Structure 1
Amino acid sequence: MVIRRVINVVLAALGVSVILMLLHLLALEPVLIVFHDLAHSVSLFLALSLTGIAVVSYIRDGRERYLFLSAAFITLTIHEGLTFLSTSFIPVTEPIIPLISDPISHWLNLLMITLLFTGLIVKSGR
């Protein structure tokens, strides 16, 4: 039962990543460039904390609302973690790291979307 709940969390994270990716693409980051790095650091800390709470709550109680919270926070943590890593390295590696982290983050979102739809198709076929 716990394994099935963990799988549900992962599948829901795949779906929520679509929404977060679209919001990221629509964000007005150049307007808030001064607060951008600070916002990513705070966001990563909050995402990690809330992910732990939501996942444990879902695995323990099995309620749907915890599933979707877990999904959102897991996806946010992945994105914010990659962004934080890309802005935290020494200046020598700065030109290289964003080239790695941004494509990984967005391709990871696309992979999650694909897995979600695959999971939904398999589940609806049962």
Structure 2
Amino acid sequence: MKEKAFKDEHGREIIVKSNRSNIQIHTKEKEIIDYKFYLDSTELIRYLKDQAESIWKSFTPKEADSFGSDYAEFYNRKTDSNGYLEFRNESLIFESPSKETTLLYQFNKRKLESFIYDMESWLYL
């Protein structure tokens, strides 16, 4: 699994972990449910897109057109609960599926395609 850490202007850190089937966003510590990460640069978005293109050869950012492609929510099997992601005021707002894990969010190919599509549209990348 490949890992890379990112810090925002407030010193908050997220860790991107990618493998052959998904890309996950983690914190350093458990017990964190709500987490806000400021997008003060486009480095994180560019990294996510680069990782997606290396994992999925047919990765193409496109608008969400179904519940499965909407990245607002994901289901975590290990905790049997949902995690959430929202973009508001130049920030990514995560709601972890459980305080028992460092996982904030997990992207599959289709959810990441719609997320990158929106980020490129909203941030003018």
Q: TM-score, normalised by structure 2?
A: 0.29
Larger Rg: 1
Which structure: greater helix fraction? Answer: 1
Counting strand residues as a fraction of each chain, which structure ranks higher? Answer: 2
